[in-house]
Each structure stands twice: as structure tokens, then as C-alpha cells.
Amino acid sequence: LAAGSDGQLKTLITSGPVAYNGVIPPTNLRGHSTISLNAEGESVTLLFKNSKWNIIAGHGYAVA
């Protein structure tokens, strides 16, 4: 996931069975380096602000 523009929102959601660990390495994720979505229906919503992606909502995701 590349850098965005200030105020940009992105919502990522799994829409089918996930047989693997869906690891997303956003550029400039505030406080973490990856987001994992591991099962159907998991989601994360990100807001790009001040050159960083910020997690503002989600369900079932994990960060590292």
C-alpha cells in the first residue's frame, strides 16, 4: 500500500475464504509495519494524515 494524500481513506476487507495470512505492508504505517487480515470479513480502515497511514477502525485485523 503506497503513500496517500492527506485526508485519503482506504478500507481493506477480505471478501472470501482466506487460506493464508494476508499481510499488508503499508508505506509509513504509524506505530507498526504490517497489517494482517486472516479470515473472511476482517477489515481495516486507514486515514492518511501528516505523511502516515493511521488505523481508525477495523474488525479482526492484527498489526506488527
Split at pLDDT 50, 70, 90, the class of 20 is low
Across 11-15, 16-20, 35-39, least confident range: 16-20
Alpha-carbon distance of 1 to 11, in angstroms, equals: 11
What CA–CA distance (Å, rounded) separates 62 from 64?
Answer: 7
Side chain identity at residue 18, one-letter code: V
Tell me how far apart the alpha carbons of residues 27 and 16 are, in angstroms, rounded to a whole number.
25
Mean pLDDT (the chain) is 90
Residues in the chain: 64
List the beta bridge partners of residue 63.
35
User: Sign of the C-alpha dihedral, residues 21, 46, 32, 4?
Assistant: positive
